[in-house]
Structure 1
Amino acid sequence: MNTVKVTFLGASGTVTGSKFHLGTPELDLMVDCGMFQGIKALRERNWEPLPIDARKLDYVLLTHGHLDHTGYLPRLVKEGFKGKILGTSPTLAITSIILKDSAKIHEEEAEKANSEGYSKHRPALPFYTLEEAERTIALFSSIENKEWVTLSPNIKFRTQYNGHIIGATFIELDIFRKRFVFSGDIGRMKDVLLAPPERPEWADYLFVESTYGNKNHPKEDVEGILAHLVKKIIDQRGTLIIPSFAVERLQSLMYRLWMLYKKNKIPNIPIFIDSPMGNNVLSVFEQFPDWHELSLKEYHAMCGHMTIISSYKETWETIDDPRPKIVIAGSGMVTGGRVLTYLQQFIDVESTIVLLVGYQAEGTRGKQLLEGAFELKLFGKYYPIKAEVMHLESLSAHADQTGLLHWLKELKNTPERVFLVHGEPTSLDAFRTKLNYEFNWNVHIPNLYETIELMV
């Protein structure tokens, strides 16, 4: 018998920083390589060297392109990784966009902190640079979805469609005839832009996300709520600001607003899309039409209906525009990006509505807004919150508890071990209890940096 040592380097007891190291008799592997987001104690872990030797890693396998699954890659390369980074073509396209955009934001924020002196670090440094991101992208190698890829004599893997965002997959990794299944982030059974996720049929060792392991998404009249907010903004001559994730969420919001206009449920109100990363992601939808449900005709009509901002100068022109308007800007948890500039200008204006449209991790500005904070820290200064804050949780791109259980019910065997990852403690524990009740599985919630030996 051989052993595989699995070390949980992230997404353990939290929803961010997904990365799992597998030491096998033949190869050193990592599944996902995300950065931590949220509370300061988690973000500070990004700056710590990993407790593994990056120089010995042969491959990184990516489930999808989100920052909390890919954002540590340039640091991994900086620590000496020289292997291949494998993923589907749309995942690598998304990851490339996200890493470049993230690097630019890191560089801009470090420069701003140094010029305005609001960082305690002297000097403030970017987490990684654009040059380091481009060096990382040079290691990308695309694989065909559903096709088995042989990595060594006794190790092979394949990806399968998983909804969530364009390009997203779960990973089936066969090591000495034992199957390791990494769920990545599981999408919704019903999504306006994406097909339902495929489901695994066999897993000896299962690593499953638990973001919404403790709840089901509320049944909300999304169209009705959006139409109501648009009417309210027009009546009070205000601004509707929607912080949005650049991948999938932004495109689905564009689609929903466009459909509302087509159905004559909202008037032709100015809609501004201010997310350089999101704009680039739109081109990925155009490039990979087989990965989503939006026709190219619909895609072009939707984009033509809205103003897609391409420069910071246009951001300020939008801010100065006195008309009632909708602004969709990154980032979804209000951790950075263009939305901070809009909030800086509008958060203390009573005619402003801020609509949160997805999961808000602990320690993020989005979570503070959600919990009723009376002020918000932006660029080193505090601003009073006079805007109305609302939340649409049903727009999440993650499966809820019912969706997670549905995804698991296609399994034809009982896994030897099940590991719950990518969830907050209450969600993890609730889902562990549910899995014990539904399936009587051997479920473990790993701690950060915990190593477990599995027999293969």
Structure 2
Amino acid sequence: MKIQFLGGVGTVTGSKTLIESDNGIRILIDCGLFQGNKETRQLNWQPLPILPSSIDYVLLTHGHLDHCGWLPRLVNQGFEGKIYCTSPTKAISQLILLDSGKIQEEEAEKANQEHYSRHIPAEPLYTVDQAEKVFPFFRVIQLDKTFDLDAEISARFFYASHILGACSIELNLEGKTLVFSGDIGRDQDDLLFKPVKPKKADYVFLESTYGDRLHPANIPMDDLERCINETIARGGNVIIPSFAVERAQTIMFLLWKLKQEGRIPEIPYIIDTPMGIRVIDLFTENRTWHKLKLEDCEAMCSMFSLITDFEETIETIYSDHPKVVIAASGMVTGGRVLSYLERYIVDDKNTVLIVGFQAEGTRGRKLIEGAKEIKIYGHYYPVNAQIIEIEGLSAHADQEDLLQWLSELETKPQNVFLVHGEQPSLLTLKNMVEHRYGFNCEVPYLQQMIEIN
């Protein structure tokens, strides 16, 4: 068989791994969008090295944009196969794709109106209509049930934590077992259960987002409490850029616990991410996938003002009342959080609270690295607000969690390929895997093709 790395190598975005069996069946594991600096984003406009119409199946590990966000391009360019995933992943992917298409359209329109794009006219990578055309291709797969893709090819999805519906994938073909980790969650997560470890694998494709670091021993609730109280005391606002899926719900949960304990003030707490609000419904509809009780979910939601209409967003932005706002996107690459930052990032009374991983080249990464100004919609704004990062809230496994994920393999795999990580993380984790387990370990490069006999 042949395996080609079409994304998610040397970077934490754009995840795509192509498998071609000896009888010509082509399977794409994930189909993600590249995010980050301009050079990386430009890869989204490049065609695949094979015709999308020649791909038979897509298997999605989960519904984050960097794992499903290129599907509209794939379908628009001729894909007619099946997209297999869990039920929550299907629902989340549909929300993510619609939101992404809307943002693509809005940013292209804004660029044309304000003439800040070099492309005349600026065009969206894809539209809402093109996103909707992906939906008929989805096929829902049950957790832990082996299913056949072909007479000689089978697959199984098993629990990965990370976000609702996220799974690792076991693929069996040509007498070999390939395991794709997808994004692995943490053993200690406020909302989700522990990830399941693989028992057998000839080849492992392991994510490496936090391959060079351990999550700190801090208590995130204490950090949240301190940040909110200090900001409100000086008359400011707290803006929390957050991934709409799982991160937003985790922050809501922690704020609710703080409010219950009387540790944060009686001020407006606002969720301004329509997609994040819809994901709350998915938590109530998929209760076997997480720890949150129905009554706790309802009580938690009652604490927040849920904004869906953009006119309400504008009213909230221009309200002088101190408040806490959770708004997408998590890496500050788009979404409504940009509208808040246009007004609030210039004022030193305010705080921008970073609560998740920030990929290289994103606005979020630039903020935590100390940028003095930030570009939003073609305009530059001075960064006067307090930029605070609370570590320990990431939905990703850290280095030790990743190493432990390999610990129950019953036999030594022939190779471990490290993907979905930046170079320092990849190289550090490679050394750790080799040292602890003695496994052969490789860091592939973009477009690399390997053959397995």
Q: Look up the match of 1:122.
A: 120
Aligned partners of 1:441, 1:231: CA distance in 2, in Å?
A: 48
Q: Look up the match of 2:7.
A: 10
**Of 367, 383, 397, which aligns to 2:381?**
383
Identity of aligned residues (%): 50
| Paired residues of 2:89 and 2:165 also in contact (CA < 8 A) | yes
**Of 358, 361, 364, which aligns to 1:360?**
358
**Of 276, 279, 286, which aligns to 1:278?**
276
Give secondary structure in 2 for the equivalent of 1:9.
Answer: strand
1:373-416 superposed Cα distances (whole Å, 9 cap, x missing partner): 10000110000111000001210000001101111101111001
Give secondary structure in 1 for the equivalent of 2:215.
Answer: coil
Give secondary structure in 1 for the equivalent of 2:140.
Answer: strand
| Paired residues of 2:220 and 2:391 also in contact (CA < 8 A) | no
Q: Look up the match of 2:110.
A: 112
Q: Look up the match of 1:300.
A: 298
1:290-331 superposed Cα distances (whole Å, 9 cap, x missing partner): 111111111111111100101111101111221110010000
Q: Look up the match of 1:448.
A: 446
Q: Look up the match of 1:69.
A: 67
| Paired residues of 2:219 and 2:392 also in contact (CA < 8 A) | no
Q: Look up the match of 1:134.
A: 132
Deviation of 1:267 (Å): 2.2
Question: Given residue 386 of structure 2, which amino acid in structure 1 is its aligned partner?
Answer: E
**Of 184, 187, 195, which aligns to 1:186?**
184
Question: Given residue 11 of structure 1, which amino acid in structure 2 is its aligned partner?
Answer: G
| Paired residues of 1:61 and 1:86 also in contact (CA < 8 A) | yes
Matched, 1:401 2:399: yes
Deviation of 1:265 (Å): 1.3
**Of 35, 55, 58, which aligns to 1:57?**
55
Aligned partners of 2:391, 2:119: CA distance in 1, in Å?
A: 36
| Paired residues of 2:207 and 2:420 also in contact (CA < 8 A) | yes
Q: Give the TM-score taking structure 2 as reference length.
A: 0.99
Mapping 1:187-336, distance limit 5 Å: 187-336=185-334
1:203-228 superposed Cα distances (whole Å, 9 cap, x missing partner): 00110001111110111121111111
Aligned partners of 1:104, 1:339: CA distance in 2, in Å?
A: 15
Aligned partners of 1:184, 1:114: CA distance in 2, in Å?
A: 37
Deviation of 1:431 (Å): 0.5
1:66-122 superposed Cα distances (whole Å, 9 cap, x missing partner): 000000000011111000000000011100000000000001111111111111111
Deviation of 1:30 (Å): 0.4
Give secondary structure in 1 for the equivalent of 2:317.
Answer: helix
Give secondary structure in 2 for the equivalent of 1:208.
Answer: strand
1:45-77 superposed Cα distances (whole Å, 9 cap, x missing partner): 100001112111110000000000000000011
Question: Given residue 243 of structure 1, which amino acid in structure 2 is its aligned partner?
Answer: P
**Of 12, 17, 20, which aligns to 1:23?**
20
Aligned partners of 1:451, 1:280: CA distance in 2, in Å?
A: 39
| Paired residues of 1:233 and 1:325 also in contact (CA < 8 A) | no
Q: Look up the match of 1:349.
A: 347
Aligned partners of 1:266, 1:188: CA distance in 2, in Å?
A: 27
Give secondary structure in 1 for the equivalent of 2:7.
Answer: coil
Q: Look up the match of 1:82.
A: 80
Aligned partners of 1:313, 1:188: CA distance in 2, in Å?
A: 37
Aligned partners of 2:285, 2:361: CA distance in 1, in Å?
A: 35
Aligned partners of 1:221, 1:440: CA distance in 2, in Å?
A: 34
Question: Given residue 391 of structure 1, which amino acid in structure 2 is its aligned partner?
Answer: E
1:355-376 superposed Cα distances (whole Å, 9 cap, x missing partner): 1001111100001101101000
Aligned partners of 2:142, 2:66: CA distance in 1, in Å?
A: 23
Deviation of 1:40 (Å): 1.1
| Paired residues of 1:164 and 1:188 also in contact (CA < 8 A) | yes
Aligned partners of 2:346, 2:265: CA distance in 1, in Å?
A: 26
Give secondary structure in 2 for the equivalent of 1:255.
Answer: helix
Q: Look up the match of 1:33.
A: 31
Matched, 1:168 2:166: yes
Aligned partners of 2:132, 2:228: CA distance in 1, in Å?
A: 40
Matched, 1:158 2:156: yes
1:195-246 superposed Cα distances (whole Å, 9 cap, x missing partner): 0001100000110001111110111121111111121122111100000011
Matched, 1:46 2:55: no
Q: Give the TM-score taking structure 1 as reference length.
A: 0.98
Question: Given residue 160 of structure 2, which amino acid in structure 1 is its aligned partner?
Answer: N
Give secondary structure in 2 for the equivalent of 1:279.
Answer: helix
Aligned partners of 1:272, 1:320: CA distance in 2, in Å?
A: 14
Aligned partners of 2:233, 2:432: CA distance in 1, in Å?
A: 46
Deviation of 1:276 (Å): 1.4
| Paired residues of 1:86 and 1:142 also in contact (CA < 8 A) | yes
List gaps (5 residues or longer) in structure 2: none
4+ residue segments displaced more than 4 Å: none
Aligned partners of 1:158, 1:290: CA distance in 2, in Å?
A: 18
| Paired residues of 2:238 and 2:352 also in contact (CA < 8 A) | yes
Question: Given residue 252 of structure 2, which amino acid in structure 1 is its aligned partner?
Answer: M
Question: Given residue 7 of structure 1, which amino acid in structure 2 is its aligned partner?
Answer: Q
| Paired residues of 1:110 and 1:126 also in contact (CA < 8 A) | yes
Question: Given residue 398 of structure 1, which amino acid in structure 2 is its aligned partner?
Answer: H
Question: Given residue 130 of structure 1, which amino acid in structure 2 is its aligned partner?
Answer: V
Aligned length: 452
Question: Given residue 321 of structure 2, which amino acid in structure 1 is its aligned partner?
Answer: R
Give secondary structure in 2 for the equivalent of 1:145.
Answer: coil
| Paired residues of 1:286 and 1:296 also in contact (CA < 8 A) | yes
